Amino acid sequence: GPLQPLCRGAFILLEGCDRAGKSTQAAKLVRKLKARGFLVEHMRFPDRTTPIGNMIDAYLKSTKELDDHAVHLLFSANRWECMAKMKKLLSSGTSIVVERYAYSGVTFSAAKGLELAWCKSPDIGLLAPDVTLFLDLPICEAGKREGFGEERYENEDFQRNVRGLFLDMKHDMTVGDIQNYARKTIDEIHGELVASAIETIKKCATLPLKDLWK
């Protein structure tokens, strides 16, 4: 018989500050989507498992020092090296729930004083998310949450800077941002994210993949 048009998967991004709940929500979202019968995979950036990711991991754990520009380019390269895999998953009909992406890339480096346009340029042309779910949380509340580790960037003044840059960049993010989610319970936020993810999966099933910042 005639071939069914193949539905692609959706690129669902969770962005936001440290301890905003990205990992918690990504895991719950993936579980729920699977239970509803969707094909879905969970990814996170940095992907510390690759050789480039190993260098980033050492930098974040402060066992290695790197120039700010150099590490920025490593974070971007770490996304580029995953593009083939991500495109393959999406075009075969599997959705991906991704923690952090180019928005973290730009905000963390710009918070160190690197120029915004320079920070964006290596990520131009990456696969664009179909929806960016921005999990916002005032830093004073984030500070009360468990899990403030010993990695680089984990101090409140730096995080406050990053959050300001995230809020400045929100006009750049794909529609579907969830705001002020952070004052809600884990389950309330989960419900909103599930609804938004399913709407996105349905909406972009037959739309072409897009390029970031092009």
Q: How far is the CB of 189 from ligand ADP (least distance, A)?
A: 5
20 binds, among ligand ADP, ligand FDM, none (CB under 5 to 8 A by kind): ligand ADP
Tell whether residue 108 is a contact of ligand FDM (CB under 6 A).
yes
Dihedral sign for Cα atoms in the order 206, 125, 100, 173: negative
Q: Which is nearer to ligand ADP, 4 or 185 (CB)?
A: 185
45 binds, among ligand ADP, ligand FDM, none (CB under 5 to 8 A by kind): ligand FDM
CB 56 within 8 A of CB 71: yes
Binding-site member from 8, 9, 40, 104 for ligand FDM (CB under 6 A): 104
100 binds, among ligand ADP, ligand FDM, none (CB under 5 to 8 A by kind): ligand FDM
Tell whether residue 139 is a contact of ligand ADP (CB under 6 A).
no
Rounded CA-CA distance 47/81 in Å is 10
Rounded to the nearest 5°, which phi and psi values hold at 120?
-75, -30
Residue 177: CB atoms within 10 Å:
17
Footprint on residues 58-77 left by ligand ADP (CB under 6 A): none
Tell me which residue has tokens 């969770």.
14
Rounded CA-CA distance 92/101 in Å is 22
Q: Enumerate binding residues for ligand ADP (CB under 6 A).
A: 16, 18-24, 145-147, 185-186, 189
